[in-house]
Amino acid sequence: MKKILAAAALTLVCLALSAQKYNGLIDKTVAVIGGEFVTLSDLEQEVSTMRARGYASDQNMRCEILESILQTKILLMQARVDSLVVNKEMVGAQLNQHIDDIRTALGGDDKVEAYFGKPIYKLRQEWNKQFEEMSLTQQEQQQIAKNIPEITPYDVKQYVDTADVANLPVIPTKYQMSQICVYPDVEAAKMAAKEKLLELRERIIAGEKFSTLARIYSDDVASARRGGELGMASKTIFWSQFSDAAMSLKVGMVSNTVETPDGFHLIQVIEKKGDMFNARHILIKPSYTSEDREKAFARLDSLRSIIDTTELTFEIAAKMYSQDKASRTNGGQMADPHTGSAYFDKDQIKPADWAGVRNLQPGEISEPLESTDNEGNGNLVYKIIRLDKIVPAHTASFETDYNDLYNMVENAKQMEAINNFIDKKISETHIVIDPMFKDCDFSRAGWREKIRK
């Protein structure tokens, strides 16, 4: 009965187009899926959102967006059958980030409203619904993935034995490294940066232009070209210390020194609207003298010699002398901050670190070098690096790359289960797609069969 009503509804809507105009197009229903409708305005709003975020708009984008909406509807209908519940906290965070990104890209609430032709509160309601639906569809995909049988070593071995060697993943060369780090005299450098900003602030108060001094002195090269101006943006995209200071200022006022993980700032607010602001800033990063470098290099070179000529191991030396807290407790062993892995692809190694180790053999220790840590935009650090191991590039094997292969097989089976579920639902569900999309190159053949003749 529902299918009959949905088909009748589609026929009526397609024959009696709404008088509403949307971006120069007459709004109409372009697809029916179960008891749900997809309108042209739904599609065009998604196109507008993508364009606002920097994507080029073309007919293929509309095809991809329509397919994505229809796929979401299928998963959403099943999520409701399974009585899944929206994660309100996650949706709220995603919605706020989405709105802040759009506001920042377009330059404020008024620009957003003009661009989309709707008030912010209305857009928030619509986007909130979309993120709630996304939450449910993601949970449904997880539910489907959970139902696959547990992957066993036999599954992995069978995959390796039956797969074409050309289709097996190639594991790139990986490097395992350990480090001993020494930081320069941070407090002295911070004090010098603060004193420089204090001097610049006094010059601004005395009448010199903030923008002129920003062009000359700011270490933020991108904004320095614009006289330190950052552009209208949501406060959430900045470090909280920076945003709090900016939001507390009156327009035209100059802040005292503000410290963030990027360095030290002077801030002058140009404009404020709600929780958005446009400001100029001058960034001064702590800088160090050649004496700092020579002192640190001498210390590291001494440690390197002691490790080479005595029974002091690199691991013990790292625990005793390294100032990098993250690696010191592990005997200096370095780990990817994003994955936690002790093995690095070449592209994951900092350029300065790579320059120090690229010609080493396993077990050898680099000369002292200057690099950065993983805090903020990277603080200066001096270090020596031991190249612990090189795992050459190779075709993945069951014996040496079980974890990589396990993850690959598991992901493949999960995607297969999700794809099979969606394809099955496409064939079972009443779906009608407007013939205006007959030339779309959909990724699933089932959609083409649903285009109204």
CATH code: domain of residue 27 = 1.10.4030
- Is 178 in the same domain as 133? no
- Is 129 in the same domain as 201? no
Q: Answer whether residue 287 shows pLDDT above 50.
A: yes
- Is 143 in the same domain as 9? yes
Percent of the chain, pLDDT > 90?
A: 58
| Banded model confidence at residue 5, pLDDT cuts 50, 70, 90 | very low
Range 234-241 average pLDDT: 90
Q: Answer whether residue 25 shows pLDDT above 60.
A: no
| Banded model confidence at residue 376, pLDDT cuts 50, 70, 90 | low
Give the residue among 2, 4, 135 at the shortest CA–CA distance from 72: 135
- Does residue 60 belong to any structural domain of this protein? yes
Q: Answer whether residue 3 shows pLDDT above 50.
A: no
- Is 379 in the same domain as 418? no
| Banded model confidence at residue 344, pLDDT cuts 50, 70, 90 | very high
- Is 240 in the same domain as 270? yes
- At residue 253, the pLDDT reads 94
- Is 269 in the same domain as 334? no
- At residue 18, the pLDDT reads 31
What pTM was estimated for this model as a whole? 0.61
- At residue 15, the pLDDT reads 28
- Does residue 200 belong to any structural domain of this protein? yes
Domain that holds residue 197: 187-284
Q: Answer whether residue 375 shows pLDDT above 80.
A: no
Contacts of 363 (CB under 8 A, 6+ apart): 386, 387, 388
CB distance 173 to 354 below 8 Å: no
- Is 13 in the same domain as 91? yes
- Is 278 in the same domain as 298? no
Q: Answer whether residue 337 shows pLDDT above 90.
A: no
| Banded model confidence at residue 322, pLDDT cuts 50, 70, 90 | very high
- Is 329 in the same domain as 264? no
Sign of CA dihedral 52, 54, 58, 61: negative
Range 283-299 average pLDDT: 89
Q: Answer whether residue 102 shows pLDDT above 90.
A: no
- At residue 1, the pLDDT reads 28
- At residue 151, the pLDDT reads 92
Summary mean pLDDT of the chain:
87
Q: How many distinct structural domains can be found in the chain?
A: 3
CB distance 254 to 276 below 8 Å: no
- Does residue 158 belong to any structural domain of this protein? no
Give the least confident one: 59-63, 98-102, 129-133, 240-244: 59-63
- Does residue 407 belong to any structural domain of this protein? no
Burial class from Cβ neighbours inside 10 Å (0-12, 13-18, 19+) for residue 206 reads exposed
Q: What tokens appear for 91 in the block?
A: 């949706």
- At residue 349, the pLDDT reads 93
Give the least confident one: 17-21, 226-230, 285-289: 17-21
104 by DSSP, 3-state: which?
helix
| Banded model confidence at residue 434, pLDDT cuts 50, 70, 90 | very high
Beta bridge partners of 372: 380
- Does residue 217 belong to any structural domain of this protein? yes
How far is the first Cα of the chain from the last one, in angstroms, to the nearest whole number? 22
- Is 377 in the same domain as 421? no
Q: Answer whether residue 390 shows pLDDT above 70.
A: yes
Give the least confident one: 10-14, 178-182, 205-209: 10-14
Burial class from Cβ neighbours inside 10 Å (0-12, 13-18, 19+) for residue 185 reads middle
DSSP letters along 319-357, please?
HHH---HHHHTTTTB---TTT--SEEEGGGS-HHHHHHH
CB distance 157 to 396 below 8 Å: no
- At residue 7, the pLDDT reads 32
Looking at per-residue confidence, does 234 or 8 come out higher?
234
Range 315-342 average pLDDT: 91
- Is 298 in the same domain as 237? no
Q: What tokens appear for 15 in the block?
A: 């024959």
CATH number for position 213: 3.10.50.40
- Does residue 20 belong to any structural domain of this protein? yes
- Is 130 in the same domain as 21? yes
Instruction: Give φ, ψ of 8 to 5 degrees.
Output: -65, -40
- At residue 57, the pLDDT reads 58
- Does residue 405 belong to any structural domain of this protein? no
The per-residue pLDDT for range 195-223, each reduced to its tens digit, is 999 999 999 999 999 999 999 999 999 99
- At residue 267, the pLDDT reads 96
Chain CA centroid to CA 22, Å: 32
Q: Answer whether residue 303 shows pLDDT above 50.
A: yes
Range 388-409 average pLDDT: 91
Beta bridge partners of 371: 381
- Does residue 40 belong to any structural domain of this protein? yes
Burial class from Cβ neighbours inside 10 Å (0-12, 13-18, 19+) for residue 153 reads exposed
Please tell me the distance from the alpha carbon of residue 188 to that of residue 389, in angstroms, as a whole number: 37
| Banded model confidence at residue 61, pLDDT cuts 50, 70, 90 | confident
Q: Answer whether residue 131 shows pLDDT above 50.
A: yes
